[in-house]
A and B are shown apart, each in its own frame.
Chain A
Amino acid sequence: MAGFLLLFGSGCSAISLMAKIPHLRFPVLIIGLLLSASLGGYGGIIYYSRSPENQEWVVNLGLLVSIIVVCIIGGIVQWL
């Protein structure tokens, strides 16, 4: 789990660092938008396809939230 989250965080750090180069800002913006849209869409799929019997969707949603948090931290760290 730690390696998985660190991979996402360091990947977002790399993308965020690329935004420091002026002519790469627009592609990075597009990548950022695609990433956030896919993560949000995945969260919606998890929530709306949940079954009331088991609580596995809570674990999946928690994992998704932790990925989002790590991506945000990875992106912000490069601009502080």
Chain B
Amino acid sequence: MHYRGDSAMALINLRSSEDAITKYWTMLNAINLTLIPLVFCVWLFVPSLTKNLKSTPQLILRILSVTFSITGSGVILFSSNELTKLKPKIDSLNKRDNAEFKHSIASVLLEAQKTNELTVENAINQRRIELDPYAFMPQSLPDEEFRGSVPSSELVNDDSSVVPNSSELTEQSLRNEPYFDVVLECLEDEIADSKIIKDIMGFRNVRYQEGKAILAKIKAIYEIESESV
């Protein structure tokens, strides 16, 4: 068997040469496993069965058994030699197959893990949307055109505290707001109203109108203070 084969064909189709090596290895092992017990039994037991050498068939059988033992042991020796030469190749092929198997298992496990993480994240986001539907509105919506159906008095912010209605805000409550001083500084720097409402005060989308009303009140306070100065 020419398992070395044509080198060009071996380069084109490496898999076939590996299959040939594996088949050759299997064949040699089969020959060894078959011949060793057969030769041993023939060499050891046929002489006891052919004791009468004056009988021609028994003599022929005895001679054939010795010839078969010599030939069989020569074949066993040759195949053992070939198996010893093939062993490093077979070991490397097995090692590669084991590594590929482990890699495929690891890939499947990693994919399953990522799927689970995404499922959990999706479930958490869904729950957040159920609790606060307006927190995940897309920023690209034009704020002035959006009209929510939820009254502003029923809106809940992240601190789970009720945002006061703009009509109920007094000057003192406005001054207590965390963004009050920052808004005053922005008004001094003449920053655009929409930017103050959206970025500084945090009133986006459906709450934009409310933020606008609050900014108007803050502007009124600012003008009063700047006039007094």
Contacts and interface: CB of A to CB of B under 8 A. Distances in A.
B66 A17 contact: yes
- At the interface, is chain A mostly helix, strand, loop or mixed? helix
A10 B48 contact: no
Interface string B37-48: 001100110011
B86 interface: no
The size bracket of the interface on B is 20 to 34
B141 to A, nearest CB: 84
B69 A6 contact: yes
Given A77-B43, A77-B44, A80-B47, A3 B69 contact: no
Interface in A7-33: 7, 9-11, 13-14, 17, 20
Contacts of A74: 43
Given A6-B40, A20-B53, A78 B76 contact: no
A28 to B, nearest CB: 14
Contacts of B74: 3, 7
Interface residues of A, number: 18
A16 to B, nearest CB: 9
Interface centre among A7, A10, A74 (most CB of B within 10 A): A10
A4 interface: yes
B135 interface: no
Contacts of A17: 62-63, 66
Given A11-B70, A14-B66, A6 B76 contact: yes
Contacts of B75: 3
A3 B76 CA distance: 5
7 contacts: A3-B78, A3-B79, A4-B77, A6-B43, A7-B70, A10-B66, A78-B47
